[in-house]
Chains A and B, each alone.
Chain A
């Protein structure tokens, strides 16, 4: 599994072109530090969590699309390889328990600013077939 943090407030599907271009570049450069080459599998899963200070006025699903597009050619060859796309949002100032927090995630939470945490992994074939 690869995971990484992208600092800042994410662009959504409805964001301006300029905002989306800047965000795409941030996502790609954060991912490039974790992926030496794009993944090949066809049952990939992406989990996107937006840690926010102010409740966003956009739908969480609309945040995941620009991120999945931005990761084409970096985390995977094409986002068609994604068998599951999960998007969450979490109030950074709420109450929660992160099990197995890695240094990047723990540091970003402690900083207290908006950020997005992205995890990409291969889904288990048996899990993928379970409803």
Chain B
């Protein structure tokens, strides 16, 4: 019969404590049964000298149903001299797909934060931070497109050069290329300390173009099987 994740953990803890010289009582074949404490029988009771540890093993699926028992075991251990209550939470490791989905969500949060800070910089006419943020978004879009259509970009790749090659491969339109080229020029100007003065209206327009480009790129990748 297949063991639950909690049963596997109880067995592994029983072995570990036994190897460390503890007397182990566990809800397992081959071990003495732990006595009820405060009306509840824990998964394990391990003892060595004056030290007595009461252990309950739960998973995300089981912990809510065991809440009352867990609290009672902890309460009882807190009042008993030499007794300690350990709570062990065990859950399956996330699969590769789950990890990938998490990483994707994290990237989307980062993108959303970058874009909202872009708006903030436009409103406050903070030219340097505006163009640096816009540059980061556009650079990563270009690198992402390159990664998707050509292969992993080498570090330090010039985004305008890559955009030009993407234009040759018809991955991006000429208007998208022109925008990227112009934005990168403005970004370099801002980084090197001589940004052209621009009003909030012009910055808002640029910000909206950056967002449209980001949205188009997200659409392309989302549509992939």
Contact = CB atoms under 8 A, between A and B. Distances in A.
Interface of A: 55, 57, 92-103, 105-107, 109-112
17 contacts: A92-B89, A95-B91, A95-B93, A96-B89, A98-B87, A98-B89, A99-B86, A102-B85, A103-B74, A106-B73, A106-B74, A106-B85, A106-B87, A107-B67, A107-B74, A109-B89, A112-B63
Which 4 A-B pairs rank lowest in CB-CB distance, beginning with the nearest?
A110-B67, A106-B74, A101-B87, A103-B74
Nearest to B110: A57
B91 A103 contact: no
A103 B60 contact: no
Nearest to A95: B90
A93 B75 contact: no
Contacts of B75: 103
Contacts of B208: none
Given A106-B74, A107-B71, A100 B85 contact: yes
Contacts of B64: 110-112
Nearest to B85: A101
B91 A102 contact: no
A93 B74 contact: no
B85 A112 contact: no
Contact of B78 (A94, A97, A102): A102
Given A94-B89, A105-B87, 16 more contacts: A55-B106, A92-B60, A93-B60, A95-B90, A95-B91, A96-B88, A99-B86, A100-B86, A101-B74, A105-B74, A106-B87, A107-B71, A110-B67, A112-B60, A112-B63, A112-B64
B84 interface: yes
Q: Is the interface of B mostly helix, strand, loop or mixed?
A: mixed
A55 to B, nearest CB: 7
Contacts of B84: 99-100
B4 interface: no
Contacts of A103: 71, 74-75, 78
Interface string B187-218: 00000000000000000000000000000000
A86 B155 CA distance: 36
Contacts of B86: 97-101
B66 interface: yes
A38 B113 CA distance: 39
A109 to B, nearest CB: 6
Contacts of A110: 58, 63-64, 66-67, 70-71
A96 to B, nearest CB: 5
A94 B91 contact: yes
Contacts of A57: 109, 113
